[in-house]
Structure 1
């Protein structure tokens, strides 16, 4: 049984991309980290590397497919069984895609919505009661710049990220008198894997101006979270695009976004 006086940061989607960078950045800051991701060798590799680099801290991992309805409860039960008290919950796991709505079957969208929205809400609901008993606790929900726009050829993804943004801001207001802070991270282009790199190339100069590394995004997000900020938008250009979204007529936005994201159609 692990020492129950220890607290842990729990990161979902922790084996790749932003999630991996967040887990590594938390470890650099001296935190104990729980890594949750699909049960693949990469998860074990990342966890082993952190254990080797930070031998005086505690790390553990759980392989779980968060598209499964039972996954959030299984993750919570795993923490309870092992005495892992979570004071930082980072809901990062998510799935993106591009292409015409009918290019994917219904099971894909069901899984995407389950992962991007339902699992995030369920984990928050499960861990929040105990987090409220701690001196200080934090929740970081990973949205997207897509949270701020309706995006043709990326409609389900952008809708799920809008949900994450709205849920995070609403719950933050509910909890403003408590010890639990909530921040929503809304990054633009992040070069997380070869497929994302290829899609980013297809987007051209506009995407190149906004792209950042996972480490840059992770460091910025944690900094904003610990300062109690409601929203983290890494980089100057993404902030500029968000501002332009309030100025450019909606019909023009739709035309521009449709032209941009149809290039990513598979």
Structure 2
């Protein structure tokens, strides 16, 4: 049994989630790593245990597309006396292509993962976070949260949801010890598919690209400063500012032409 305080990271075996786990560990934190039950998850946990032997690391393999997964994660923490003061809701699923190119079941799973599991974890862990002198939640959205994106419609809509939910709940919590930071990164090359899409999207994607490590370090710095919305990188912030000037229909046409490339 343990009375240590932990940072809980979902999607912790790859990409931004893995980078968050490594960056938090480098800052002296104990980590609970949650991701799909694959060998990669145990490898990341073992690597951190070897690198930081004075800290505690535990992992749970679970599919967050399952409706009862958030409750199972809370039960796991309570059964082992794991107390969480930072919750990083990172797990998510993206895609590009015509809406009709994938079955309904794919989009149901995507919405379950990107939205419902995030809400469930936030709701279930909030009492624990509120009991701490200071608690933090990072909800990972995307630059896609600011746009309607043809050929990426469910993904962008799900990230709009994360953004709106995070901002709204932050207002509710403003007199409490808990602060929510919503992270809206641009292109982050986390796997070969993302790298290929970035190459297809051209110069703008490369200019706005950030490594997972850069995103994690920048976001944690801003989180501790109480920042509510984090957009890592100069060019993504500039791109968002320019995007507010471009008329909606023109913006929609530009995005459609960009993302149709990914579906060919």
Coarse TM-score class (shorter-chain normalised): over 0.9
Who is 1:152 aligned against? 150
Pairwise CA distance, 1:221: 0.6
Who is 1:23 aligned against? 21
RMSD: 0.6
List 4+ stretches of structure 1 deviating above 3 A. Answer: none
Q: Secondary structure of the residue that 1:128 maps to in structure 2?
A: helix
C-alpha distance in structure 2 between counterparts of 1:90 and 1:154, whole Å: 24
What are the equivalent positions in structure 2 for 1:1-266 lying under 5 Å apart?
1-2=1-2, 4=3, 6-265=4-263
C-alpha distance in structure 1 between counterparts of 2:254 and 2:187, whole Å: 17
Note the alpha carbon deviations across 1:136-188, whole angstroms, 9 max, x for none. Answer: 01000000000100000000000000000000000001000000011000000
Pairwise CA distance, 1:246: 1.3
C-alpha distance in structure 1 between counterparts of 2:185 and 2:81, whole Å: 33
Q: Secondary structure of the residue that 1:39 maps to in structure 2?
A: coil
What TM-score, normalized by structure 2, do the two folds share?
0.99
- For structure 1, the 5+ residue unaligned runs are none
Alignment size in residue pairs: 264
What TM-score, normalized by structure 1, do the two folds share?
0.98
Q: Secondary structure of the residue that 2:9 maps to in structure 1?
A: strand
Q: Secondary structure of the residue that 1:83 maps to in structure 2?
A: coil
C-alpha distance in structure 1 between counterparts of 2:30 and 2:43, whole Å: 17
Note the alpha carbon deviations across 1:238-259, whole angstroms, 9 max, x for none. Answer: 1111111211000000000000
